[in-house]
Structure 1
């Protein structure tokens, strides 16, 4: 393995980690990360956020010790995760000085990384606020995040850390089909959240960015459990195949109609919103297949619902070819949701409703990164239920903004 470089020891640590992880299994990743920072006089503990985004759970490794899950709310580590920021903590109460930093795959929030100064190593003079030290931490943390995302598909260990209970068969199917929960490019942010994550029925979402075109969609197949999950899987696959063949929005909807009729004729239907956003001009075109209308939020207030582009739900062949259109302004947010959000009912039978949803969006607009806005919105809706959720609850937020992009980058 490499030896530390006296001029900038992080270079050696990064090279060392790359060499160590080329053949590493997912369950070996935490140990290799810890070994790579040991020559710098540091320990490393990886915490991954659970599927519900309520706790940060330690990945077993040599530096994990007796580490316990950490709540996302009202803790230092949780604040680092929520705000995508860094926080140094001075030594005290028997604990060494340490740095909490967000763990990201690009901009997808995976959890947090704790780097602590090892006692008795001759590195007690490490300055957690030093710019060169933080620059090294940043590059090292980016690499760890990418490695986690790369290693997850090759085993179960990292997935199991993120789960607190058994996942249903339908959820297992859909989670493997969904894209990452957050995507950020230079001109836009896309973020989504799906609950209850262990028992997903027919909800889903998708997006794809190529050149100036951003496609995004949300789905809700009628029914529950595996039948609904299969319907959403068929719809997503048909739309992806048609999109990659160059079909327009109407063509995507008709491809889904044909696929449901061919493979699941007994299934009733899938509601959906399919949209294209031109990242150069802000022109948004969309088709609404029987789904709740998206909300347009501008300058922290609800402008209106996007009520155009109506057609019958997917699977119910519709001769209409209406396509809705809206021109966004820089900073506009488009919120898509399934009815599991707005139809959540409390003990008195009162629905969560669109007005409450819009009010929470207004409250958090511009104050929080898009993924954190959705996390809070979804948890607020779920807490409104009197008992277990009766339906899937999915939210998707698309923001056309340079400022939103900057808010997604780590803050030292």
Structure 2
């Protein structure tokens, strides 16, 4: 690591949680003669890049900042350079700076600094509200605040898989959510739909997520994870409230996918340009009865398969011309083939908003998983 990179790393580590970007601007100006620098944070809806320090939101598709965000690569526009601010696949935003350095070495080091910034921001967010507030175009409902705080992230990229998820309506989501974790060669993904509205739905989904995490971290099988969450929800609500969920466990080396289906989220595979519905045997929703037994089904993925999981708020969304429906859903999913998973879920839910011509009335969640095998 060069002396300049070491100086930047030290400055970022020493910065107070709410002044990371200002400290970065100062040290980069000194070491790289960059006179202007700002962080553009992506908003909750994935529809705007919001400058932290100064300037107007960037919302126009095709803008250099959005090209950088979408393609995850450096973009130069005149004397201004845009760099992706991303940590382990989690896309936080874009670093905008000027002037563009003259040497390839300087440009490469600034790209590395953008990644260092992403990791530092992830650590700093635990100690300040500044970046969460700056990522909003309007106030979140209390239920939405709870749901976003519950998420593990919005995107994850590893050598063997790429994964992304998104919630709508982003600023007022209630009972829909998702969760994931990677451990010991396995990837666990859960998509949930808690019954009810507002805070009741958010509290119910939060209980389900924490019960499933508790069971997963205790090393229980997928079916037993569902059983423990089922018991936790029933003991709290005595059958008056339940959660529909799809639990997945992927062996990231072999592509073997274990599934427990307890309700509405539906699963499809995009394979060789065609959408293949995966009809699953729906079992009782979590918390409906005092004691339920859950069975696991196994599906074998192929290299380059793309897995979509969507809640019923997607296909059942209603616009002026009727329901969005399965045909439109399949047609749009086929178009996502060249897109990265985050672009795919962002585009799908954006298409849904256009279809209904407003914010969605019902919650909608979309999760996209590409399995690529290690080293491919």
Could you say whether these structures have the same fold, taking a TM-score greater than 0.5 normalized by the shorter chain as the test?
yes
SS in 2 for 1:311: coil
- State the TM-score, normalizing by the size of structure 2: 0.94
- Note the C-alpha offset of 1:268: 2.1
Q: 1:19 aligns with which of 10, 17, 39?
A: 10
Counterpart in 1 of 2:354? 383
For the residues of structure 1 that align with 2:237 and 2:25, how far apart are their CA atoms?
49
**1:388–1:53 CA distance, 2 compared to 1 (3 A):** closer
Larger radius of gyration: 1
Counterpart in 2 of 1:74? 62
Whether 1:29 and 2:20 are equivalent positions in the alignment is yes
For the residues of structure 2 that align with 1:382 and 1:89, how far apart are their CA atoms?
31
Structure 1 range deviating more: 16-25 or 41-50? 16-25
Q: 2:364 aligns with which of 389, 393, 396?
A: 393
- Note the C-alpha offset of 1:307: 1.8
For the residues of structure 2 that align with 1:197 and 1:267, how far apart are their CA atoms?
27
- Contact 1:282 1:327 (C-alpha < 8 Å) held by counterparts: yes
Summarize the alignment of residues 237-316 of structure 1 with structure 2, pairs less than 5 Å apart: 237-265=210-238, 267-303=240-276, 305-316=277-288
For the residues of structure 1 that align with 2:358 and 2:254, how far apart are their CA atoms?
45
Detail structure 1 runs of 4+ shifted over 6 Å in the superposition.
none
Aligned length: 373
For the residues of structure 2 that align with 1:114 and 1:32, how far apart are their CA atoms?
15
- Contact 2:88 2:158 (C-alpha < 8 Å) held by counterparts: no
For the residues of structure 2 that align with 1:38 and 1:321, how far apart are their CA atoms?
59
Q: 2:89 aligns with which of 100, 107, 110?
A: 107
For the residues of structure 1 that align with 2:239 and 2:299, how far apart are their CA atoms?
35
For the residues of structure 2 that align with 1:254 and 1:168, how far apart are their CA atoms?
31
For the residues of structure 2 that align with 1:280 and 1:81, how far apart are their CA atoms?
29
For the residues of structure 2 that align with 1:100 and 1:373, how far apart are their CA atoms?
22
Structure 1 range deviating more: 131-140 or 100-109? 131-140
Q: 1:166 aligns with which of 124, 134, 139?
A: 139
Structure 1 range deviating more: 291-300 or 313-322? 313-322
Deviations along 1:78-114, one digit per CA (max 9) or x if unpaired, are 1111111211223xxxxxx121111112211111111
SS in 2 for 1:280: coil
Deviations along 1:386-410, one digit per CA (max 9) or x if unpaired, are 543211111001111159x98xxxx
- Note the C-alpha offset of 1:15: 2.5
- Note the C-alpha offset of 1:293: 2.6
Counterpart in 2 of 1:55? 48
- Contact 2:230 2:292 (C-alpha < 8 Å) held by counterparts: no
- Contact 1:212 1:278 (C-alpha < 8 Å) held by counterparts: yes
SS in 2 for 1:239: helix
Counterpart in 1 of 2:200? 227
Deviations along 1:48-92, one digit per CA (max 9) or x if unpaired, are 0111111111112xxx4xx211115131111111111211223xx
For the residues of structure 2 that align with 1:13 and 1:238, how far apart are their CA atoms?
46
Whether 1:358 and 2:330 are equivalent positions in the alignment is yes
- Note the C-alpha offset of 1:167: 1.1
SS in 1 for 2:177: strand
Deviations along 1:154-189, one digit per CA (max 9) or x if unpaired, are 111111110111111111112111101111221011
**1:262–1:319 CA distance, 2 compared to 1 (3 A):** closer
- Contact 1:286 1:309 (C-alpha < 8 Å) held by counterparts: no
Summarize the alignment of residues 141-220 of structure 1 with structure 2, pairs less than 5 Å apart: 141-220=114-193
